[in-house]
């Protein structure tokens, strides 16, 4: 059984309904600035469970305090992050 923390995510190119090509890949610490920028411009603010936070300092703090066993995947449109998913383990065999 592979634990989430040990799982490897191969980059995957996907196409949107409107034909744009996006690259989905695992988050790397070097991506933090681009991810914060995406959330800085995210609308509407505080959509679900108060997320994303409303300002840059709280966005950075939130991202820094994600559970250590969670994994993040980012969708890139060129050099810009346009999507983010956080996979949080709820058991050795499943994520939320």
73 contacts 81 by C-beta, under 8 angstroms: no
Q: Which of 64, 71, 66, 65 is nearest to 3 (CA)?
A: 71
Q: Tens digit of pLDDT for each residue in 63-94?
A: 888 877 888 999 999 999 999 998 888 777 77
CATH of the domain at 46: 3.40.630.30
Q: Tens digit of pLDDT for each residue in 19-42?
A: 999 999 999 989 999 999 999 888
Q: Is residue 74 part of a domain?
A: yes
| Rounded Cα–Cα distance for residues 63 and 74 (Å) | 13
Domain total of the chain:
1
73 contacts 84 by C-beta, under 8 angstroms: yes
pTM of model > 0.85 = no
| Rounded Cα–Cα distance for residues 73 and 80 (Å) | 14
* Full residue range of the structural domain in which residue 57 is found: 4-87
Q: Is residue 78 part of a domain?
A: yes
């Amino acid at each position: 059984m592979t634990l989430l923390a040990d799982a490897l995510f191969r980059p995957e190119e996907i196409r949107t309904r409107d034909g744009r090509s996006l690259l989905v890949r695992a988050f790397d610490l070097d991506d933090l600035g681009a991810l914060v920028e995406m959330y800085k411009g995210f609308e509407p603010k505080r959509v679900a469970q108060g997320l994303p936070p409303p300002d840059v300092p709280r966005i950075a703090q939130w991202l820094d305090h994600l559970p250590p066993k969670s994994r993040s995947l980012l969708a890139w449109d060129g050099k810009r992050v346009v999507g983010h998913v956080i996979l949080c383990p709820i058991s050795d065999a499943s994520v939320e």
